[in-house]
Amino acid sequence: MITGGAGGIGSACAEMFAAGGLQVALVDRNPDVHRLAAALGEKHHVPTIGFVVDLAREEEVTALARDALAWKGRVDILVNNAGIHPKQLDRKFMLEEVTNAHWAEVFAINLTAPFILTRELLPEMKARGWGRIVNNASTSGRTGRVNGSTPYTASKHGLIGLTRSSAIESGQSGVTVNAIAPGPVLTQRIMNAPEYRSGKAQMVRYGKPEEAAAVINFLVSDQAAYVNGAVYDVNGGTLMA
């Protein structure tokens, strides 16, 4: 199951999973996720399903976990990829402009939803002795250098904490929990950003969704069975820690 599955890294990840023969559940607040899931299944001849969910609503997230388990009886892989970064007129909010509502929404989607899904799906994974959870923590989860990103950065730091704590609790049960920390990836959101449209971006190049998805694809494989509690930087060397 992949949250934020209707575009960017989520879509690239779904493509790799389906190409490898996995059954894929796509989750997004975009209703188009139904069509995308159906097209993916038709292309790769695997069962797929789309769930339209507002991850900011705890009751919908809890219901999602229940519905995903009901679909095929189990969830082997959870990719917490969805995330938001609130802006106003293409401009990020500085700290003094952040309202309680902005803060709450970012944390609900970026941190609370992954927590709820992990909590609801982990027991069944542990009982079977196999499971993979990968969280998209972003480079912002590794640093605080970006202006106007306080809620996003704080939530992604929290997601790394959730990753590591979950890994400690689940590692003896055959379940691994890891994270990726991608730098700027060329998604539709990035292409709509003023700095990209103006040609003022300072990156040598942006990452491709497929490059981040490839790391996720490794982390959910049997080859990564000894990788647990790790945070993989996928940023072209723009941040080295």
| Active site amino acids | 152
55's tokens: 């991850």
Contacts of 86 (CB under 8 A, 6+ apart): 92, 93, 102, 105, 106, 151, 152
Residue 21 has which token pair? 């023969």
Q: Which two tokens stand for residue 140?
A: 């912002």
Residue 29, φ and ψ in degrees, nearest 5: -85, -10
| Cα 113 to Cα 166: distance, rounded to the nearest angstrom | 14
Quick one: DSSP state of residue 200? -
